[in-house]
Structure 1
């Protein structure tokens, strides 16, 4: 079946493994709406294909895994108060995918890129990878589940550091706090991720999927995601949420007013 994906998001089937690549390296693999639609279509196909057992997702080049939404694509929507989120307030990236997802992170994994990462199961990072949620620096918030998932996955104080300061952490610290499973040289990231995928494929696929489903469902995150979605508009509908992205696009310091 042809999915008619954009060239900026590729999907390959390699035996039992689905390899997906965010393919916009000149823009630090920032997402456009077209790419998000393509990613959703690829994961729907992966989820429905009984011959595919594990997904590996990476970013083209060595500068970035993903840096979230392209600000030029997102700015008009943010200015109109759109959170750029899912229509279903209880849905977040990959939460209904119970087949394992492995991330091969080579470079920046920030903003929406880190939000995607939080929905993945195994994370392999390059030595020069950087992780962060810089949204507050621009008057908005990472409303793609980070307020719920991040404190579940790493220590509270570090989660708050990322959410409240907007500063990045490096790969070593990400490994030390348990955000990633392994750090390897840049030229070994995809190879290592594929090796983990092959290792998982040696196990019973029904057992693997059931183990993940139980773990995910036990978190009972859907009501928490609804809470995030219900409170976030106070930020996205503010003047600061218009000023921050505008300042980013104009490469200047934002003038926040708290309104």
Structure 2
């Protein structure tokens, strides 16, 4: 990772062609989301959305866990000091999971270890998930008096309501094999293949017209809850039908060569 930079928060940022790799690197804390790590993730994701050269993001992690959720030691210390705890959606900064869903480029999660609590919510916020067998996943917030606000909203949109409510109410974990059957996992591969597979998916996305991909993500996310007639009339992001990339894509196909995307 010649171009990788590590932030003090424990976030490693690597530029890999048109793919940006963001790696959680707090293995001693099971990659728990401290305030500093959340802030750096939000900042980097916003930069990815602003950088026309970035066409896909891979979210990975070092160590035995993908992410154990919010840093409970940090929260407990705030409680001890008598500081006010603000719920995730009541803070002056952007909520991490919301930013992941709204970043204009696709985000692929590479999950080789446990993704629980806020770590599972982080995985749910991503567009695609590559996961190793036997990985523990779930939302145990009801067991410790937390809220799982993002998971409570998003999980019932991803899987049948009854199953989602059982996971939320009981706080029990499921394996990645079960999650795959529910459609929460795009690829189930050996642990050593998780990151290469995620990078391969990101490269495949990055090889396509960036105007088209950004438009597809924006339309899919914003149109999900709309009636069909409204969703079809959405006009979000750059219009690929009117782009230079549309002309280039057709020309490249007819001339049997690789396209040279301009992002315009």
TM-score normalised by structure 2 residue count:
0.77
- Matches of 1:37 and 1:89, distance apart in 2: 8
What residue is the counterpart of 1:201 in the other structure? Answer: 206
- Matches of 1:60 and 1:101, distance apart in 2: 18
Asked if 1 retains the 8 angstrom alpha-carbon contact of 2:48 and 2:103, the reply is no
Distance apart, 1:159 and its partner CA: 0.8
Q: Map residues 237-256 of structure 1 onto 2, 5 A cutoff.
A: none
1:113 aligns with 2:119: yes
Higher relative contact order (CA closer than 8 Å, sequence separation 6+)? 1
Distance apart, 1:134 and its partner CA: 0.4
Asked if 2 retains the 8 angstrom alpha-carbon contact of 1:94 and 1:120, the reply is yes
Distance apart, 1:196 and its partner CA: 0.6
CA shift in 2, pair 1:110/1:82, >3 Å: same
Distance apart, 1:89 and its partner CA: 10
What residue is the counterpart of 1:128 in the other structure? Answer: 134
- Matches of 1:90 and 1:136, distance apart in 2: 24
Distance apart, 1:219 and its partner CA: 3.3
- Matches of 1:218 and 1:88, distance apart in 2: 27
What residue is the counterpart of 2:86 in the other structure? Answer: 82
Cα root mean square deviation, aligned: 2.3
Count of aligned pairs? 218
Q: Map residues 1-259 of structure 1 onto 2, 5 A cutoff.
A: 5-6=7-8, 8-61=10-63, 63-77=64-78, 80-85=84-89, 87=91, 92-143=98-149, 145-219=150-224
CA shift in 2, pair 1:90/1:20, >3 Å: closer
Distance apart, 1:114 and its partner CA: 1.1
- Matches of 2:92 and 2:101, distance apart in 1: 12
Query: Which has the higher Rg, Structure 1 or Structure 2?
Result: 2
TM-score normalised by structure 1 residue count:
0.78
CA shift in 2, pair 1:93/1:128, >3 Å: farther
Post-superposition CA distance 1:90-128 (Å, at most 9, x none): 962423212100000011101111111121111000113
Post-superposition CA distance 1:63-100 (Å, at most 9, x none): 21111111111224567442244537996242321210
Post-superposition CA distance 1:18-38 (Å, at most 9, x none): 000000111111111111111
- Matches of 2:93 and 2:107, distance apart in 1: 23
CA shift in 2, pair 1:86/1:202, >3 Å: farther
CA shift in 2, pair 1:40/1:149, >3 Å: same
CA shift in 2, pair 1:113/1:86, >3 Å: farther
CA shift in 2, pair 1:179/1:77, >3 Å: farther
CA shift in 2, pair 1:75/1:185, >3 Å: same
